[in-house]
Structure 1
Amino acid sequence: MYRIGRGVGIAALTLLLAGPASAREPAIHPAVISDPAPDAAYPANMSAFALPAEDGAMNVVMYTAAGAGLHPTLLLLHGFPGNEQNLDLAQAARRAGWNVLTLHYRGSWGSPGVFSFTHASQDAWTALQFLQQPASVAKFRIDTSAIVVAGHSMGGFMAADVAAAEPRVAGLFLIDPWDPAQTVAALATDQGKAAWKAEVESDLPPLNGATYDGLTAEITGNGDKFDLGRRLSTFGRRPLTIVGAEKGLGAEARKVAADAQGGNPGARLMVWPTDHSFSDKRIALADALVRFLSGVAPTIR
């Protein structure tokens, strides 16, 4: 990429040499790569607090967008156990004019309580309802007609789970989502059992009260609940984008996208040549999210 200020002639030559394909490449959304002008009256802000949840609490962070008036708001859910929190995505969404609520589920990363998949689902629902409470709306200037849920990996399942159950959710964005039903199917083989056990046991240290046996029993004993394709099939025709990773859960993403598209032809699937954490596609991922959010609720930047 040439530097701005090197001259129009160099810029024109660069485009000429790059060819028509490169010239047609869409620009990265400004919110992904540049800061908006500060708003002295209504500056961007960040609030950290504990949100009560059943027998524990969630440590949450609310990123508040700059500007007067109500703001569309994103609930962003991390995966299992949450090593990748996607806070770069939260910052990009805020620069685009969105509030963003992130959280650590009960029993994870110091949040009080016991971690389980069932508790994570309940916690996501508690957070979603929190965003619609009058006190929250007033404090954080939330536009309740424009709440979107996004989630990565296990958080993708939790996002779909609560969004399907809440018709007021305006859109759903899933990042290489985990489908427990496909994990259960894989447990029918020794190789699948070994892979699942190795994954779970390596992720247990930051999770309080969780065990391999307990987590496995949850998904094998409640197939109606822990089925991402089934959840997406009930989401309806609301905006939905799934971004999968070829080196991650891309195959699962393709299957659940087909389930979603059966009742929602406008559901979009992209599967990129990257790993489960999108390690070399962070700018592209932020751009995809911000463009999705802009389609749900355009904001002035």
Structure 2
Amino acid sequence: MNPRVVALRAGVRRGRIEFGQTMTNAGELIGWLWLPVVALVVMHAFGDGPLPGVDFSLGAQSVPGILAMNAVFTGLMGLAMALTMDREDGTLLRAKATPNGMLAYVVGKVLGKAALTVAVLALMLAPAVFVFDGLEPGRVSTWVTLAWVLLLGLLATLPIGAILGAVFGNAQSLGFVMLPIMGLVAVSGVFYPITALPGWLEVVGQVFPLYWLGLGLRSALLPDALAVAEIGGGWRHLETVLALGAWAVVGLVLAPIVLRRMARRESGSSVAARREQVAQRPG
């Protein structure tokens, strides 16, 4: 059998095992769920006001954006953190030493984080449908749109996570990435329509995939009448496909290049140096 096929199968098996371990580890699962839970609770408590120009709760309107935000955190940041931590403890070096081990490793990590992202979204969406009035999960179009938007969103964001995990040498330095991501949350229409922002911030928000992922999820879960609160007064499905598709293409081209270069630099001495840095961290 082709060695690459064997590696791919091993990667799928690895991803399934890692996903199962996360879903059965209460502490780790809570770690992925606490942020969207807090955001949904806050919007339920303080989002009773109507959207400008429409008779619809701001809290309910924010649900798809919160789900999109958490999909980016779980997928992008989850994969980036997993790569940096595995570089620190030598897991990546062991994968490199195995024939086609890097292929199996990357496939497993990507599939595991993709499955976790979908599972967390489902776990948050189920109660949100009952807590927030106005969401429309009963339409066939809802689930069709959710499927293609989430697929494109994962393709657009997971490669970025792989690139970040390859570029940053340790999990501590990766923490600084959270600052610009939180800035993007503020300008991507997650908690309030992006049309309420100044024009130049609207442009900035539309450059990045978080806005388009949120827009796509809003088009799936919210009544069509709410499209008037969006830029251009519509859901802009074609633009969503093009924007997320462009990020996916760029990421899928760059990620393998960056990962190969990172793997070439991995050595016993580099792992030892990282372990020494970890041991010297306070606390």
Fold in common (TM above 0.5)? no
TM-score normalised over the length of structure 2: 0.28
Structure with greater proportional strand content: 1
Larger RCO of the pair (alpha carbons < 8 Å, separation 6+): 2
